[in-house]
Chain A
Amino acid sequence: MPAIRNQIRELRARREITQQELADRVGVTRQTVIAMEQDKYSPSLETAFKVALVLGVSLEQCFQYDPRGKR
């Protein structure tokens, strides 16, 4: 279980935003969005804030930290 998990996929689906749209609005590649959704990449704080902003939720609603998780 990764230390930082996220709800990007669910939030994105709820707002009907594609991976490419989210990537363009955040300023990352679609591959990075895919890696984040698969919990294979933990973004920087700035990117995490941007993702939450684009998805219209708070940082805590989008990203969760599990201290027992693997980093």
Chain B
Amino acid sequence: MAPSLSYREKTLYASLAAEVLVYGPYFFLHQQNSVNKVAGMIIAIIVLQIVLQLVIAAFTRNRVTDERDRLIELRGYRAGYLMIASLMVIGLGLLWFHATVGHLELDHRMVGLHFLSVFFGMLVISDITKTATQIVAYRRAL
């Protein structure tokens, strides 16, 4: 029998779609970043996630989660953590490089926004990594 999607798997696909839809513009329109835009994106992702989860829950009869779901969830969080940790190390390394060897010249008023953008970007990438890892784990042997 062909494996249909479980409740948990459906929510993951919805999460990935929401993440790509809301966070996608962040990578392509980052020149016009502002605190309001980042805050708007966070609110948009929360609202979209709630709506999608409600729709999926309403149309899914069997909402059981089991040990395999929990194991896959842990794998996703591990991958997400490794990604954000790696990005932090790379980011700090680049910052150190620019501060000592290079010439990092940031406008005083823009420093906060630059850091906000970088940290938000790291969070977005690690979040997408987490969700994508979980989706792959559902499709592959565990």
Does the CB pair A34–B3 fall under 8 Å?
yes
Chain A min CB distance to B110 (Å): 49
Interface size bucket, B side? 10 to 19
In the complex, residue of chain B having the shortest beta-carbon distance to the beta carbon of A34: B3
Residues on A with beta carbons closer than 8 Å to the beta carbon of B62:
29-30
Interface string of B51-66 (1 = CB under 8 A from A): 0000000000010111
Q: How many residues of A contact B (CB 8 A)?
A: 18
Residues in chain B near residue A43, CB distance under 8 A: 67-68
Q: Cα distance A40–B140 when bound, in Å?
A: 7
Contacts A19-B1, A28-B64, A31-B3 aside, 13 further interface pairs with beta carbons under 8 A come to: A2-B141, A23-B64, A28-B66, A28-B67, A28-B68, A29-B65, A29-B69, A30-B6, A30-B62, A32-B68, A35-B68, A43-B68, A47-B66
Q: Give the interface of B toward A (CB within 8 A).
A: 1, 3-9, 62, 64-69, 138, 140-142
